Structure 1
Amino acid sequence: MERSTPAAMERSTPTAMKTPVDRSASSEVDKHANLSSTTPLKRQDDAALEASEKASDSPRPIRGVKWFLVVLSLLASFLLYALDTTIVATIQPAIVNAFGRVDLVPWLGVSFALASAASTLPWSKAFGTFSAKKLFIGGTALFMGASALCGAAPSIDAFIVGRALAGIGGTGMYMGLLTILSVNTSDTERPRYLSLTGFWWGIGTVLGPVVGGAFAESPATWRWAFYLNLCVGAVVAPVYFVVLPDYHPLPGVPLRARLLMLDYLGALLSSATFLCIMMAMNFGGILWSWGDGRSIALFVLSAVLCAVFCLQQIYTIGTSLDNRIFPMHFFKNRTLVVLFLAMMFAAFGCFISIYYLPLYFQFTRGATALQTSVHMLPFILFLSASVLINGQYMGKTGYYYPWYIFGSALHLIGGALLYTVDETTADAKVYGYTILLGVGVGCYCQAGFPVAQMKVAAKDMASSVGFMTVSQMLGIAVGTGMSGAIYVNTASQGLERLFPDATRQEISSALAGVGSNLITSAGPGVAAAAEIA
């Protein structure tokens, strides 16, 4: 397979080395690009960009120790965001003991995810309109303030509000991280830097329950699981204010004009759509039955809002073609459609495993939070290694199609093998299956970000980040929602057969692991008899 070389690119554009390229300049999206094993990872709309970047290696204004500190500080905040996605899992019993209100337990974790998903597109549009540095610092400040509220919460209601605000701020940090790394790296080195986010995400989501459980069982109490964020934030804050490079997507445009460019109606409709679909998927079968009027209403409302949002974006109602919040024109590009779907299914494989493999080990092995994390290490280590290898070599070789083919094949094989697992399956087999799944998902779960940026105009880079993040959020929402529905319904049926006199609240509490001794007070054969696994 032959690919275009920098030398060949220079020969075809002899003046490229002499003419600097403005990354914010607009150009047409390549509508005919498609996934091909002979398609190198190069920007489709700007041949001169490659030559200019070859001369300067990267477009960032800082180098050496300063750049190292920036990357390290960005990843430190991102690690906190990753920790917060799962840290509540093992401190829910302590929170219920402190505040009561078992009926609000589902909101402890869901509020964070709901707010994260609902704020994705507004953050994406903001980073394509305003100063990236100011937005990132603002998102970080909101996340830290929300962490302080969670730590000092006087009631469970205040805690839930804090979790929701942390989700909004954390998403701002995540979008800011992706944007700042993208605009300060060359096309060749970008996959390597963006792969670091996948690595630290994997580490953070596994360490979350361990850190939360450790604080919950220590004299420091569960509140320090959130105060910890403030300590780290205080350390990295000077780097953000002094060293972090800024990015202005619309230089010279007055603030008032930029505010008028925002798609307020699109932001409202997209947020409402995400809220309804995630509430329907996460609360159905837990807070109320699937046949309950509330479940039906949420699903219907989700479909209606989604349709209205699509129509509003297509016909640019209340906005303009250039200012709409979601880049609908990306769906005219077959490559971007495939990347969108692949990212969504990669999120399926990653997050279903992260959420439900720990439950498997807890129910079938009686594992504690720390022991569960040890059981998860094969999956997370190989997933993280695969993400790093992909980022290192995809940018060097320029080819991305083989990573998707190989990764999706292993993803399918690993998932199929995990379907055969039961309570008698040896740990070695489970580890082997999770390794296959982890390597497969890691091959392409973060690859979509740099590839998508190569397939769009330079002015659409921020939009491409939001586009791929939306696919991630959809994968998380739909994947965990579907798997949660299967888990809750099958486990509930087993517990109802085993404990016919138990109330619905007792069964729900047992499944959540809080506020109930329904299973622990029973005989040793309960788990097998209830067929929880």
Structure 2
Amino acid sequence: MTKQAKFIVTAALMLGMALAALDTTIVGTALPSIVGKLGGITLYSWVFSIYLLTSTTTVPIYGKLADLYGRKPLFLFGATLFLIGSAASGAAQSMEQLIIFRAIQGLGAGAVLPIVLTIIGDIFTLEERARVQGLFSGVWGLSSVVGPFVGGLIVDNFSWRWVFFINIPFGLLSMLLLIFTLKETVERKKHHLDYLGTITLTGSIVSLLFALLQGGTSWAWVSFQSIGLFVAALILFVFFIATEQRAAEPILPLELFKNRLITISSIGGVVLGVLMFGVTSYVPLFVQGVKGGSATSAGITLGPLLLAWPIAATISGKIVIRYGYRITAVLGMLAAAVGIVMTALFTPQTGLPFIIAAMACIGAGLGFASSVFILSVQNAVPWNLRGVATATTQFFRTMGGTIGVAVMGTILNAQMAQRFAPIYAQFSDAASRLPKNIAPANVLLTPNLRTSLALPFLTQLQNALSQSLFWVYGLMLILALFGLAAMFLLPGGRADQYAYKPTEEELTATPSTDAMAHIG
């Protein structure tokens, strides 16, 4: 296992992860241009939603298949699907086509993200993983957050289709490097795939996400559609739990959660997902809507978070090895909570240095914590469970972000409806001259409309949006404090104390890690 070979595999995996994470958010700034060319404004949200649905629901399934059949074939399968979806999305001639092809993209991304982390867990020792996983955690965070900025650059200087086409050369390079460098030996035996568990889990997640993404927009929260979807999600989840308790090879082994490290890391992953997606969704809204900044300045505001995350994630690995999981995770969640407190104090008068300090604090905190969640889980399980265990942490993180942002959107909409209506009534003459089809919040996000408003009217709208966002940040703060408290439940002491120790029977019956995944 040469250093050069490890470097090539690591570069290939980083490239694959960056592309899949980037596509979660890069479409945002391109979508107005896409709708302008293809039409279909009523299908706007589905371009995001379908990718999120397919990439989230398939994560546990791919994790289990990677444990059964090896990491490399599943990564190559997922990357191929992702690139096919990218090429087709770039060539789409209608919104309906684009949505179908984005679903294919998501099916591929569901394999790429967790299996990248699993391969890293296979080919590096704990000490090496502590450094490398921190780097990968930073790549994931950086790619997700920088997406809107990159999408804007591509749309401004090229065609929107290059938002998708740009994936192809880099994705092919990642696959070729892995094909020629990573060698796997997997024990071949007959497997019993958990089809019923796969169907019930997927159905439950799809129902829940569909309800959260469409509730309050396509239909009311208390409508038959919303209630029916939530009930369906609950019933299917109960069936899934019952199925997993009887399955010979469950898609998501419930005994994993008997391990305190995995349970607390999963909780931490949910909190991390909520905070990351929440901050990157709603801080730019504050910068543009309340502070009157441009889309570019809103992206720049997130810069300190982008820089602090990978730096902290790299440092975090060294602290984990020396002081253990608990102290590292507590430091991370504490820093994130402090940053969220600062964010909750944002007002129209808040200066740029304060906003930058808050973003740097949050980025450092999430960078510290994210490495712990991956390292602790991979270190606690044998090779044949590492894929599904790693996928589980990724699954909880994405689900946390998806559900969290949906709930925050509901809170924000309710707060804005309550605050904006009296202001519009007070300035009825000015409000009557605004375009009828533009929501009040969008007036603040449209530069030519914002500059046309009288200063008293504009000031009150900005204050109303700032006060509405306070409740969104308040929810994030509650979850950050909950996450901080949960981190104290991680076991103390050095990380190597909690490494999985195979039984004598496993040592003689199961190939070693080096035999399972080695580089040549």
CA spacing shift, 1:513–1:265, aligned 2, 3 Å = farther
Partner of 2:46: 107
Partner of 1:225: 163
Deviations 1:396-427 (A, max 9, x none): x2611101222222222222221121222111
Counterpart of 1:388 (choices 314, 323, 329) is 314
User: Are the equivalent residues in 1 in contact too, given 2:30–2:160 (CA < 8 A)?
Assistant: yes
Indicate the SS of the match to 1:217: helix
Give the Cα–Cα distance (whole angstroms) in 2 for the partners of residues 358 and 134 of structure 1. Answer: 39
Partner of 1:405: 330
Partner of 1:476: 401
Q: Which letter does structure 2 place at the counterpart of 1:454?
A: N
Structural mapping, 1:460-471, within 5 Å? 460-471=385-396
Deviation at 1:489, TM superposition (A): 2.7
Give the Cα–Cα distance (whole angstroms) in 2 for the partners of residues 511 and 105 of structure 1. Answer: 19
Counterpart of 1:81 (choices 20, 43, 53) is 20
Deviation at 1:263, TM superposition (A): 0.7
Q: Which letter does structure 2 place at the counterpart of 1:507?
A: A
Give the Cα–Cα distance (whole angstroms) in 2 for the partners of residues 145 and 409 of structure 1. Answer: 42
Q: Which letter does structure 2 place at the counterpart of 1:230?
A: I
User: Are the equivalent residues in 1 in contact too, given 2:68–2:384 (CA < 8 A)?
Assistant: no
Give the Cα–Cα distance (whole angstroms) in 2 for the partners of residues 120 and 230 of structure 1. Answer: 22
Identity among equivalent pairs (%): 25
Structural mapping, 1:104-503, within 5 Å? 104-218=43-157, 220-246=158-184, 248=186, 251-253=187-189, 257-258=190-191, 261-314=192-245, 316=246, 319-320=247-248, 323-395=249-321, 397=322, 399-497=324-422
Give the Cα–Cα distance (whole angstroms) in 2 for the partners of residues 445 and 83 of structure 1. Answer: 18
CA spacing shift, 1:100–1:280, aligned 2, 3 Å = same
Deviations 1:371-394 (A, max 9, x none): 222111112211221111112432
Deviation at 1:109, TM superposition (A): 1.3
Deviations 1:348-378 (A, max 9, x none): 2222112211111121233333222211111
CA spacing shift, 1:97–1:447, aligned 2, 3 Å = same
Deviation at 1:458, TM superposition (A): 4.0
Give the Cα–Cα distance (whole angstroms) in 2 for the partners of residues 511 and 440 of structure 1. Answer: 34
Deviations 1:45-68 (A, max 9, x none): xxxxxxxxxxxxxxxxx3132221
Deviations 1:9-59 (A, max 9, x none): xxxxxxxxxxxxxxxxxxxxxxxxxxxxxxxxxxxxxxxxxxxxxxxxxxx
CA spacing shift, 1:528–1:167, aligned 2, 3 Å = farther
Give the Cα–Cα distance (whole angstroms) in 2 for the partners of residues 197 and 102 of structure 1. Answer: 36
| Greater mean alpha carbon deviation, residues 109-118 or residues 296-305 | 296-305
User: Are the equivalent residues in 2 in contact too, given 1:143–1:169 (CA < 8 A)?
Assistant: yes
Indicate the SS of the match to 1:287: coil
Deviation at 1:140, TM superposition (A): 0.5
Q: Which letter does structure 2 place at the counterpart of 1:293?
A: F
Aligned residues: 457
Indicate the SS of the match to 1:443: helix
More helix by percentage: 2
Q: Which segments of 5 or more consecutive residues in structure 1 lack a partner in the other structure?
A: 1-61
Give the Cα–Cα distance (whole angstroms) in 2 for the partners of residues 165 and 71 of structure 1. Answer: 25
Partner of 1:37: none
CA spacing shift, 1:114–1:511, aligned 2, 3 Å = farther
Q: Which letter does structure 2 place at the counterpart of 1:112?
A: Y
Give the Cα–Cα distance (whole angstroms) in 1 for the partners of residues 262 and 153 of structure 2. Answer: 43
Deviation at 1:522, TM superposition (A): 5.1
CA spacing shift, 1:247–1:174, aligned 2, 3 Å = farther
CA spacing shift, 1:496–1:285, aligned 2, 3 Å = farther
Indicate the SS of the match to 2:65: helix
Give the Cα–Cα distance (whole angstroms) in 2 for the partners of residues 483 and 201 of structure 1. Answer: 23
| Greater mean alpha carbon deviation, residues 335-344 or residues 181-190 | 335-344
Give the Cα–Cα distance (whole angstroms) in 2 for the partners of residues 519 and 285 of structure 1. Answer: 26
User: Are the equivalent residues in 2 in contact too, given 1:119–1:171 (CA < 8 A)?
Assistant: yes
Indicate the SS of the match to 2:244: helix
CA spacing shift, 1:247–1:492, aligned 2, 3 Å = farther
Q: Which letter does structure 1 place at the counterpart of 2:45?
A: P
Indicate the SS of the match to 1:129: helix
Deviations 1:111-166 (A, max 9, x none): 11111111111111111111311111110011111111111111011111222221
Partner of 1:69: 8
Given the two structures, how large is their TM-score scaled by the length of structure 1? 0.80
Deviations 1:327-359 (A, max 9, x none): 201222233222221221122222211221111
Give the Cα–Cα distance (whole angstroms) in 2 for the partners of residues 91 and 424 of structure 1. Answer: 31
User: Are the equivalent residues in 1 in contact too, given 2:19–2:171 (CA < 8 A)?
Assistant: no
Indicate the SS of the match to 1:245: strand
Give the Cα–Cα distance (whole angstroms) in 2 for the partners of residues 298 and 393 of structure 1. Answer: 44
